[in-house]
């Protein structure tokens, strides 16, 4: 008799000299959620949260700083009092009627296109991080060199489906930063593009670069979705200038706004999950309405990033039970209004440790059971988004790839079950040499990126490297061997003269 | 405009001087799965796997070493050829008809009783580990002192629902080890008890100690389930002497056998998930049948611990996509035969790092979506069960408690949503001081055990302790402040003379 632990040790020893070549090449490029969407609130409660959000917009209103946006709301019938906008439920209904339910998110390479729709599972790396951190170079403010590296890391792994602003290239002046980030994305990647809404100059120039790189006419550009932006409201109930302008400009150009209130329950939002979701919902509906007023039929994603704070310090928490409850409730609200939607995982941990892995993995499961169309911050986020961690990124890729594997169901045919293989092996024997095994072993199982499955002795002899230490080797190898995708050199070639001319002309300022 | 990361930083600063007292006292003692059971195979495929298992038992048979067990199988109509037992499907059907569908798992304290039934979610710590490891004392063979510490750690956290053999007290001679482990469980805990099936002497003496400690007559003992054992088959298709004897003796005494084939796909089982599950199912059914032949109506849990090996080395892997697929498929098989069942999470990692957290968390979600009644190895398992890690245990407790929190649904009543609170806070303001927040903040959110939610600066100044380092402080404090539960002293007092007499009489040998 032996325990499970001892039996595991026995198995390890059995085959330790065999090192077969594995030939698996899974396709993680387009995924759909492996499990059905779950619920956290009753249908009545969802309706009550939705109705509360409508009351918030009608009775309490949103503060909208941009006069152009207030004028658009007014044109649709909203009541305006100074910078407050009171949005009737008829305006919201009209917006939800005209907003498309799904669209094709185009990429420089068609192989990277995504169906932006309920049921799709699209992963974005951790984004919005002012700092980066790795074990070799330490924690530092993000630079354009770091931004380029993060684009390369995201490009390398198919399970990252969209680019984003992984880190902020703080060594590039703000009025030129959109040139640098669009260039880096086009030069090193062929995945769907991201552009910050930092005012009309940067947005229009960014669109121009993309049209030029991809050889699109204005019509071709506007007809499809080639670039996305995230619109964060300043919760509670405040829409600032660049965000409002971004909603208008992206909508008019037919490009995707991802409207994402950032509602931390107990801080910028009510302390209850249902209350934080009501505020999130109100603010998201206000943003969605503005896009549809600007251009009916513009692609706009519902979004939410509601989590809670730790009440002892006011610090945001991620991957918590409350976060998961609000993810799943957010999914119910998205389905209630029939739009695809964005959610996020995340991590508050300051280091790439067990806390970080736990937070991000819990958030990933919550986001999937919530059927987030787009799941942001899935790889590399640390410190609640203040740092993009390279070692964390690599370990999160493991998590995402494992999750992606769940999208493929195993087969239960007679041949797969393999009665004959069971018959072939005597009691107490092993299956290593059966035909059933030999036919399948090269492709049977997921092969890890960074997990070390050696036994303790072998692992110790090899330096007892923990997951973060091993991840350093992995990202360095990815960057060292990186090759830009096909067509990238040509695409970037087309925009270099535009960037040069734009730079000479002073770039474009960020909007206050 | 600010990114989500920057907004998170702003929130942190807002309230950093406030350190309110939190009063939350959640009850994690009895849990039910928060999400519905999921599927990985079609109903037809489940039926095919079940049918293949019946064919395995009928046509290929099990090697059963114990003559008493073979005689019992024969008495039910099985065909015997030397030590091979061929079990017809009528025998299996009769066993499934007589096996109870649920029972009360009794504990020394009734507050710790569990409903062992489909839908319940019962967590057991990592068990069966020959070694233990912590940051202060290093990796070492388990001793009785370590066993006692692990019992105390399991007792301290309500989210651990059952005791098990966390580590092997290798400094206690095998013929006396059952005395030491039963004593430690009774002396430091009031949770459901575990006893290894190491032959009839140890089992009968173990039962005697429990009867004496709890003041139960033979009838009272046999009428309820007071102690459990795990029966591992030696896959493929081999049932050894102590395991077979345990099935018989526990069944006759009305105590719970958890029949758990350990089927590593590609090693001791077919390489496919459906094939490994077919073998698991066959072996589990053989064990279940033996309990019902020994005593119809005996409580017996279906079980499975099927995962895969890493084909490059033959090493077992846990928390992998294949593991999760087999967990969920195992749950379908358990529902197919209508029995409560045991599954497991686990970790192959050699250190308490991101890999370890990822593996165990993935396995935990898989086990819950599989609706495992009992989920084993949920806290502390490292090295595929060769080591019980104290720091890993503490971090896994975080994971389990977060999961337990998901069992409570948030409310969506008008009072909870809090329209008035939203009305009270101006655009861009915060909710820290609203009445809605003040009424709830002390109990609103899960309070972490080991997660550090301080910002990077504060965390760095405090020594930049990673999750494993912080966990050392936590387990040391738990052990330092440990108080045995009410009644434990009296219970253990009753068995000390029996242990003394038993020891003097030579204990009981383990069965070969």
* Among the partner residues A232, A268, A440, nearest to B430 by beta-carbon distance: A268
Report the alpha-carbon distance of residue A101 to residue A337 in Å, rounded. Answer: 10
Over residues A265-286, the mean pLDDT reads 97
Report the alpha-carbon distance of residue A454 to residue B508 in Å, rounded. Answer: 37
Place of tokens 């068609």: A110
User: A445, B4: Cβ pair inside 8 Å?
Assistant: no
User: B237, A385: Cβ pair inside 8 Å?
Assistant: no
> A412-422 in b/e burial notation, b at 16+ Cβ within 10 A?
beeebbbbebb
- A chain contacts of residue B87, beta-carbon cutoff 8 Å: none
Structure tokens at B186: 């009774």
Rounded to a whole number of angstroms, the distance from the CA of A119 to the nearest CA of chain B is 17
The number of C-beta contacts closer than 8 angstroms across A and B is 575
Band of pLDDT at residue B6, cut at 50, 70 and 90:
low
pLDDT exceeds 70 at position B7: no
Rounded to a whole number of angstroms, the distance from the CA of B140 to the nearest CA of chain A is 12
Q: What are the tens digits of pLDDT across the range A320-360?
A: 999 999 999 999 999 999 999 999 999 999 999 999 999 99
Q: Identify the H or E element spanning B491.
A: helix B488-504
User: B444, A168: Cβ pair inside 8 Å?
Assistant: no
Structure tokens at A398: 């493991």
pLDDT exceeds 90 at position B292: yes
User: A313, B16: Cβ pair inside 8 Å?
Assistant: yes
CA dihedral over A384, A385, A389, A391, signed as positive or negative: positive
Residue by residue, DSSP assigns B459-473 as HHHTT---HHHHHHH
User: B272, A410: Cβ pair inside 8 Å?
Assistant: yes
pLDDT exceeds 80 at position B4: no
User: B402, A14: Cβ pair inside 8 Å?
Assistant: no
Q: Residue A20's pLDDT is what?
A: 59
Q: Determine how β-strand A238-239 pairs with β-strand A193-194.
A: unpaired
Q: What are the tens digits of pLDDT across the range A352-389?
A: 999 999 999 999 999 999 999 999 999 999 999 999 99
CA dihedral over B182, B185, B187, B192, signed as positive or negative: negative
CA dihedral over B166, B34, B316, A396, signed as positive or negative: negative
- A chain contacts of residue B377, beta-carbon cutoff 8 Å: 4
pTM, entire model? 0.96
Rounded to a whole number of angstroms, the distance from the CA of A486 to the nearest CA of chain B is 31
Nearest to B285 by CA among B268, B304, B266, B307: B304
Q: Residue B310's pLDDT is what?
A: 85
* Among the partner residues B329, B351, B412, nearest to A466 by beta-carbon distance: B351
Q: What are the tens digits of pLDDT across the range B123-150?
A: 999 999 999 999 999 999 999 999 999 9
Report the alpha-carbon distance of residue A466 to residue A454 in Å, rounded. Answer: 12
pLDDT exceeds 60 at position B5: no
Q: Residue A23's pLDDT is what?
A: 78
Q: What are the tens digits of pLDDT across the range A144-157?
A: 999 999 999 999 99
Nearest to B229 by CA among A9, A3, A318: A3
Report the alpha-carbon distance of residue A8 to residue B307 in Å, rounded. Answer: 11
CA distances from B437 to A51, B3, B418, B424, B477 (A): 21, 26, 10, 11, 32
Rounded to a whole number of angstroms, the distance from the CA of B257 to the nearest CA of chain A is 15
* Among the partner residues B56, B266, B353, nearest to A441 by beta-carbon distance: B266
Q: What are the tens digits of pLDDT across the range A174-192?
A: 999 999 999 999 999 999 9
User: A441, B321: Cβ pair inside 8 Å?
Assistant: no
**Test the A interface: residue of B264, B445, B446 with most A CBs within 10 Å:** B445
User: A411, B1: Cβ pair inside 8 Å?
Assistant: no
User: A385, B4: Cβ pair inside 8 Å?
Assistant: yes
Q: Residue A312's pLDDT is what?
A: 80
User: A236, B425: Cβ pair inside 8 Å?
Assistant: yes
- Domain B102-405: top CATH class: alpha beta
- A chain contacts of residue B365, beta-carbon cutoff 8 Å: 365
Rounded to a whole number of angstroms, the distance from the CA of A390 to the nearest CA of chain B is 13
When the pLDDT of each residue in chain B is averaged and rounded to a whole number, the result is 95
Report the alpha-carbon distance of residue A144 to residue A151 in Å, rounded. Answer: 10
- B chain contacts of residue A26, beta-carbon cutoff 8 Å: none
Report the alpha-carbon distance of residue A104 to residue A224 in Å, rounded. Answer: 7
* Among the partner residues B5, B322, B419, nearest to A445 by beta-carbon distance: B322
Q: Determine how β-strand A84-86 pairs with β-strand A102-105.
A: unpaired
Domain boundaries, chain A: 102-405
Q: Residue A1's pLDDT is what?
A: 53
Place of tokens 């939190």: B22
**SS3 assignment for B174-236:** HHHHHHHHHHHHHHHCCCCEECCCCCHHHHHHHHHHHHHHHCCCHHHHHHCECEEEEECCECC
- A chain contacts of residue B405, beta-carbon cutoff 8 Å: 321-322
Q: What are the tens digits of pLDDT across the range A116-127?
A: 999 999 999 999
Q: Residue A342's pLDDT is what?
A: 98
- A chain contacts of residue B419, beta-carbon cutoff 8 Å: 52, 55-56, 278
Nearest CA in chain B to A164: B3
User: B455, A315: Cβ pair inside 8 Å?
Assistant: yes
Q: Residue A64's pLDDT is what?
A: 98
Nearest CA in chain A to B277: A417
pLDDT exceeds 90 at position B8: no
Nearest to A294 by CA among A254, A251, A258, A260: A251
* Among the partner residues A266, A305, A315, nearest to B4 by beta-carbon distance: A305
Structure tokens at A387: 């740092």
The three-class DSSP label of residue A75 is helix
Over residues A471-488, the mean pLDDT reads 98
């Amino acid at each position: 008799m032996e325990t499970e632990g001892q039996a595991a040790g026995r198995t390890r020893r059995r085959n330790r000299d065999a090192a077969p070549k594995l030939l698996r090449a899974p396709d993680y490029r387009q995924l759909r959620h492996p499990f059905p969407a779950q619920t956290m609130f009753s249908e009545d409660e969802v309706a009550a949260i939705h109705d509360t959000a409508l009351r918030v917009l009608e009775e309490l209103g949103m503060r909208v700083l941009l006069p152009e946006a207030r004028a658009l709301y007014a044109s649709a019938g909203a009541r305006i009092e100074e910078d407050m906008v009171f949005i009737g439920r008829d305006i919201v209904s009209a917006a939800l009627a005209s907003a498309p339910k799904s669209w094709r998110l185009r990429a420089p390479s068609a192989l990277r296109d995504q169906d932006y729709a309920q049921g799709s599972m699209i992963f974005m790396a951790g984004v919005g991080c002012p700092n980066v951190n790795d074990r070799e170079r330490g924690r530092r403010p993000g630079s354009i060199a770091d931004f380029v590296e993060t684009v390369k890391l995201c490009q390398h792994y198919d399970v990252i489906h969209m680019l984003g602003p992984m880190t902020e290239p703080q060594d590039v002046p703000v009025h030129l930063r959109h040139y640098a980030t669009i260039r880096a994305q086009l030069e090193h990647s062929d995945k769907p593009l991201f552009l910050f809404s930092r005012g009309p100059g940067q947005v229009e120039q960014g669109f121009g670069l993309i049209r030029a790189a991809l050889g699109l006419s204005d019509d071709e550009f506007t007809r499809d979705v080639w670039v996305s932006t995230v619109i964060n409201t300043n919760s509670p109930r405040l829409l600032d200038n660049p965000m409002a302008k971004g909603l208008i400009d992206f909508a008019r150009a037919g490009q995707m706004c991802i409207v994402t209130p950032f509602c931390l329950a107990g801080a910028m939002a009510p302390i209850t999950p249902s209350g934080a979701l009501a505020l999130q919902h109100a603010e998201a509906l206000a943003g969605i309405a503005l896009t549809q007023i600007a251009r009916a039929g513009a692609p706009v994603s519902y979004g939410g990033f509601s989590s809670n704070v730790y009440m002892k310090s006011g610090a945001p928490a991620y991957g918590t039970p409350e976060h998961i409850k609000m993810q799943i409730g957010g999914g119910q609200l998205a389905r209630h209004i029939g739009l695809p939607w964005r959610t996020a995982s995340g991590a508050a941990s300051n280091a790439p440790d067990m806390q970080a892995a736990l937070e991000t993995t819990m958030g990933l499961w919550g986001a999937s059971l919530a059927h987030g169309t787009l799941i942001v911050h899935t790889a590399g986020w640390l410190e609640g988004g203040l740092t993009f961690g390279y070692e964390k990124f690599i370990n999160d890729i493991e998590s995402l790839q494992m999750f992606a594997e769940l999208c493929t169901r195993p087969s239960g045919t007679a041949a797969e079950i393999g009665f004959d293989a069971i018959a072939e092996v005597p009691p107490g024997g092993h299956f290593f040499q059966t035909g059933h095994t030999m036919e399948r072993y090269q492709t049977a199982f997921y092969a890890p990126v960074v997990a070390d499955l050696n036994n303790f002795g072998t692992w110790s002899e090899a330096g007892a490297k923990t997951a973060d230490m091993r991840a350093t080797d992995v990202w360095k190898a990815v960057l060292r061997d990186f090759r830009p995708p096909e067509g990238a050199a040509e695409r970037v070639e087309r925009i270099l003269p535009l960037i040069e001319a734009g730079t000479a002309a002073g770039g474009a300022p960020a909007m206050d």
